[in-house]
């Protein structure tokens, strides 16, 4: 029997977590719709949601802050004197060991000892000059000679590590044969790049090069272009590292470079490599610089890696910012994000990308004829349902108010069902009733072969009253509505009422009429996307004219007029179609508005005026208008605006009926 191996569990690394919960489109849609109603385009609203993130989820702004914080940390932690500091330590150790050896060597000629001690005593203060001064020195101490050789070896490895990541460690115990192999690799590489610049290279040239030297390139490039990309990015970072040093540091390193591996040939090869790469990739940043100000010294290789990290962080910042044309969340380099900020950041970014993709693919957003994103009818239905539920919850919280879910006691079926109540005369919904009985029987552990229907199982077909209404909702879109924070509540109200009429009272007709300097008819999608207007004027006269036209189109329906406004009329329509504006309100404007209201009153319109704000003049005007046509004047809080308008609509429908709506 094979031995059972213990199971081990850990983080899933095979791509998106298959057990991760799905993205919450409902939360995203609510947030996007709220911003759209505030005046954002759906495209910008989606961007804003991605920036903010959702409940318990990082957004793009959070990731951007982390990117900038890591960038600041790298600059504050490091300085670029690491290689020079290490060379200085090795030089000091070599000089100290040599002085000790000179003091111990009794057989040495006194003049020779004095000359050597004087030479060591008078070394230049510059590290590079001191190293070059001792390049031809005949070391008496084996330890000192070894330390000085390590300087040459360190410089060679650091210079190579600048261009080839990991080379410093790979050549840590290198011998002359290894160094010669590196020189040969550089020679072959420059030959390949020279041929590529002239357009004379072939795939065979690249394959031969990789077969011979591929172990030096962990990136495993598949062609010469990928090889150049990897090398050029590193080389450009090395140049930016040098640009970031002080003039003294650069001069010291240039002077020291001649001692790399004890031969100036390495610098010649690297100089040719840099020239080839800059010619092949001139668009990279070869002239930038960073401001390092920390205490932790960096060597040339590690410093180049940090400069590459800074460049990668800058690229991530641009991707996260999404401020360029055609930006998409799929542009984010998740691997780079994981390298710089950890796997959790990559998971957050992947979730945001999936949410963006799901919002675009779910049908909640659609492209208009002009190419811009818009809320789809499906999104509008869902949004209206949410807003109506909010309005209904406020209604049900009032003492003695109706439940908006209830339909009329007699009339046409709505397609919905509800539990039977004592006194109901609606027909049973047989399918729902039997289904409820089966579920209850099984749930109670009874014999499913014997089905008994309980009163609690019965559902009846919901109906709506046969009395139909033509509803004109007039909403003020003057500048004061936006300035006083009433713009979004007004839109939420319109959407809630639209959803109620279109789903519960399908026989009714609803028209949304906006009035500012002029009035106009809008569908609910247009009103939702309508941005705040800065045009002054409250032309209720024009709005009432359009309401009258709407009522005349539906002569057999009960006319219901709902007006939401925060100001007295300050404009009216002249016969030539021009809107006359005057503030304070002109008596002619008031007179024209009253004339149109009287016409609607004679038509039998059930009118409700919803006043927003505490202006005494508006209060007097609204109350007088309501009394004139036997209507109602209400002044709800903004939070209760939707519930108030829905309630007034239901109240207006119920007037004149013998069987009132269920309470």
Contact (CB, 8 A) for 599 and 628: no
**Angle, CA 209 vertex, CA 206 and CA 214 arms, to 5°:** 110
Residue 539 main-chain phi, psi, to 5 deg:
-95, 70
- H-helix or E-strand spanning residue 277: helix 265-280
pLDDT digit string, tens, across residues 582-638: 988 999 999 999 999 999 999 999 999 999 988 888 999 999 999 999 999 999 988
CA distances from 467 to 87, 407, 505 (A): 96, 12, 10
Asked whether the predicted pLDDT for residue 153 surpasses 90, the reply is: no
CA distances from 546 to 443, 498, 514, 521, 646 (A): 57, 18, 10, 8, 21
CA distances from 644 to 544, 634, 640 (A): 21, 8, 6
Cα distance from N-terminal residue to C-terminal residue, the chain = 73
d(CA 318, CA 168): 32
Asked whether the predicted pLDDT for residue 448 surpasses 90, the reply is: no
> Mean per-residue pLDDT for 98-118?
88
**Structure tokens given for 112:** 């020779």
pLDDT of residue 662: 30
Residue 506 main-chain phi, psi, to 5 deg:
-65, -20
d(CA 1, CA 590): 98
d(CA 351, CA 210): 39
Bridge partners (DSSP) listed for residue 514: 475, 520
Residues 6+ apart with CB under 8 A from 388: 404, 496, 499, 500, 642, 646
pLDDT of residue 371: 63
Asked whether the predicted pLDDT for residue 231 surpasses 80, the reply is: yes
Whether the upstream peptide bond of residue 532 has omega within 30° of 0, thus cis, is no
Residue 52 Cα to chain centre, angstroms: 7
Asked whether the predicted pLDDT for residue 111 surpasses 90, the reply is: no
**Structure tokens given for 183:** 């020189």
d(CA 101, CA 116): 11
Contact (CB, 8 A) for 569 and 81: no
d(CA 473, CA 550): 11
Q: What is the DSSP letter of 604?
A: T
Q: Are strands 579-581 and 571-573 parallel, antiparallel or unpaired?
A: antiparallel
> Mean per-residue pLDDT for 225-241?
91
Per the document, the length of the chain is 663
> Mean per-residue pLDDT for 219-247?
91
Highest mean pLDDT among 257-271, 318-332, 342-356, 383-397: 342-356
Bridge partners (DSSP) listed for residue 473: 512, 562
Taking alpha carbons only, the member of 207, 525, 526, 593 closest to residue 383 is 525
Spell out the long-range contacts of 573-576 with Cβ–Cβ below 8 A and sequence spacing 24 or more: 573/518, 573/519, 573/539, 573/541, 573/542, 573/545
Residues 6+ apart with CB under 8 A from 292: 75, 78, 79, 80, 244, 298
Contact (CB, 8 A) for 150 and 97: no
Which residue spans of the chain are classified as CATH 3.40.50.410? 469-654
d(CA 401, CA 535): 38
Taking alpha carbons only, the member of 87, 83, 72, 132 closest to residue 238 is 83
Asked whether the predicted pLDDT for residue 367 surpasses 80, the reply is: no
Instruction: Print the SS3 string covering 484-506.
Output: CCCHHHHHHHHHHHHHHHHHHCC
pLDDT of residue 225: 94
Contact (CB, 8 A) for 474 and 520: no
pLDDT of residue 413: 62
Taking alpha carbons only, the member of 505, 424, 521, 425 closest to residue 468 is 505
pLDDT digit string, tens, across residues 7-65: 555 555 545 554 455 566 777 777 777 777 776 777 777 788 888 887 777 888 999 99
What is the number of other CB atoms lying within 10 angstroms of the CB of residue 632?
A: 17
Spell out the long-range contacts of 171-175 with Cβ–Cβ below 8 A and sequence spacing 24 or more: none
Contact (CB, 8 A) for 64 and 340: no
3-state class (DSSP) for residue 417: strand
d(CA 564, CA 491): 11
581 burial type by CB count under 10 A (0-12 exposed, 13-18 middle, 19+ buried)? middle
**Structure tokens given for 141:** 């101490």
Contact (CB, 8 A) for 81 and 249: yes
Asked whether the predicted pLDDT for residue 157 surpasses 80, the reply is: yes
**Structure tokens given for 347:** 């998971």
d(CA 353, CA 361): 12
Residue 297 main-chain phi, psi, to 5 deg:
-70, 140
**Residue written as token pair 């799929």:** 330
Quickly state the pLDDT bin for 189 (edges 50, 70, 90).
very high
Quickly state the pLDDT bin for 6 (edges 50, 70, 90).
low
- Calculate the average pLDDT of the chain: 83
pLDDT digit string, tens, across residues 591-602: 999 999 999 999
pLDDT digit string, tens, across residues 331-352: 889 999 999 999 989 888 888 8
**Structure tokens given for 448:** 């499913």
d(CA 316, CA 63): 9
CATH architecture for segment(s) 469-654: 3-Layer(aba) Sandwich (3.40)
Candidate from 15-19, 259-263, 276-280 with smallest mean pLDDT: 15-19
- Say what percent of the chain tops pLDDT 70: 88
Contact (CB, 8 A) for 63 and 53: no
Contact (CB, 8 A) for 95 and 260: no
Asked whether the predicted pLDDT for residue 66 surpasses 90, the reply is: yes
Q: What is the DSSP letter of 367?
A: E
């Amino acid at each position: 029997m094979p031995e059972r191996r213990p199971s081990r569990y850990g983080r899933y690394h095979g791509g998106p977590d298959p057990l991760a919960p799905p993205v919450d489109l409902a939360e995203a849609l609510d947030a996007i719709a709220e911003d759209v109603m505030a005046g954002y385009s759906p495209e910008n609203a989606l961007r804003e949601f991605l920036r903010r993130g959702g409940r318990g989820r990082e957004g793009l702004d959070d990731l951007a802050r982390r990117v900038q914080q890591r960038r600041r940390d790298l600059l504050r932690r490091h300085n670029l004197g690491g290689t020079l500091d290490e060379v200085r330590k090795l030089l000091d150790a070599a000089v100290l060991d040599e002085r000790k050896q000179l003091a111990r060597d009794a057989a040495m000629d006194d003049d020779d000892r004095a000359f050597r001690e004087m030479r060591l005593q008078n070394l230049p203060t510059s590290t590079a000059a001191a190293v070059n001064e001792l390049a031809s020195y005949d070391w008496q101490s084996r330890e000192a000679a070894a330390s000085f050789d390590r300087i040459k070896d360190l410089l060679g490895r650091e210079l190579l590590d600048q261009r080839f990541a990991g080379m410093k460690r790979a050549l840590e115990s290198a011998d002359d044969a290894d160094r010669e192999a590196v020189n040969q690799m550089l020679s072959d590489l420059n030959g390949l790049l020279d041929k590529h610049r002239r357009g004379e290279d072939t795939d065979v040239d690249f394959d031969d090069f990789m077969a011979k030297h591929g172990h030096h390139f962990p990136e495993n490039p598949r062609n010469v272009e990928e090889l150049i990309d990897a090398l050029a990015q590193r080389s450009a970072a090395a140049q930016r590292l040098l640009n970031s040093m002080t003039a003294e540091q650069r001069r010291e390193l240039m002077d020291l470079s001649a001692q790399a591996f004890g031969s100036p040939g390495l610098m010649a090869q690297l100089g040719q490599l840099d020239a080839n790469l800059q010619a092949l990739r001139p668009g990279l940043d070869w002239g930038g610089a960073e401001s390092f100000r920390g205490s932790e010294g960096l060597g040339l290789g590690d410093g180049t890696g940090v400069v590459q990290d800074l460049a990668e962080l800058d690229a991530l910042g641009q991707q996260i910012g999404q401020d360029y044309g055609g930006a998409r969340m799929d542009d984010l380099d998740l691997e780079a994000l994981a390298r710089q900020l950890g796997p959790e950041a990559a998971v957050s970014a992947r979730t945001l990308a999936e949410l963006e993709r799901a919002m675009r693919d779910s049908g909640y957003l659609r492209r208009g004829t002009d190419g811009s994103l818009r809320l789809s009818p499906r999104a509008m239905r869902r949004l209206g349902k949410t807003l109506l539920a909010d309005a209904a919850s406020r209604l049900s919280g009032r003492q003695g108010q109706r439940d908006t879910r209830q339909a009329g006691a007699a009339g046409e079926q709505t397609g919905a069902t509800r539990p039977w109540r004592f006194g109901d005369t609606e027909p049973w919904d047989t399918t729902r009733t039997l289904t409820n009985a089966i579920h209850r029987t099984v749930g109670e552990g009874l014999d499913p072969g014997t089905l008994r229907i309980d009163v609690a199982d019965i559902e009846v077909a919901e109906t709506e009253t046969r009395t139909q209404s033509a509803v004109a909702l007039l909403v003020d879109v003057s500048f004061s509505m936006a300035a006083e924070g009433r713009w979004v509540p007004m839109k939420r109200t319109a959407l809630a009422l639209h959803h109620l009429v279109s789903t519960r009272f399908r026989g009714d007709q609803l028209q949304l009429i906006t009035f500012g300097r002029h009035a106009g008819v809008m569908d609910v999608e247009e009103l939702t996307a309508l941005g705040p207007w800065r045009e002054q004027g409250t032309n209720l006269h024009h709005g009432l004219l359009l309401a009258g036209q709407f009522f005349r189109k539906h002569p057999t329906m009960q006319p219901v007029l709902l007006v939401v406004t925060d100001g007295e009329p300050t404009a009216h329509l002249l016969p030539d179609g021009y809107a006359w504006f005057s503030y304070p309100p002109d008596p002619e404007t008031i007179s024209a508005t009253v004339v149109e209201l009287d016409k609607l009153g004679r038509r039998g319109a059930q009118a409700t005026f919803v006043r927003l704000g505490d202006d005494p003049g508006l209060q007097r005007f609204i109350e007088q208008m309501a009394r004139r046509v036997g209507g109602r004047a209400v002044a709800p809080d903004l939070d209760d605006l939707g519930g108030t308008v829905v309630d007034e609509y239901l109240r207006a429908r119920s007037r004149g009926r013998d069987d009132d709506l269920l309470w």
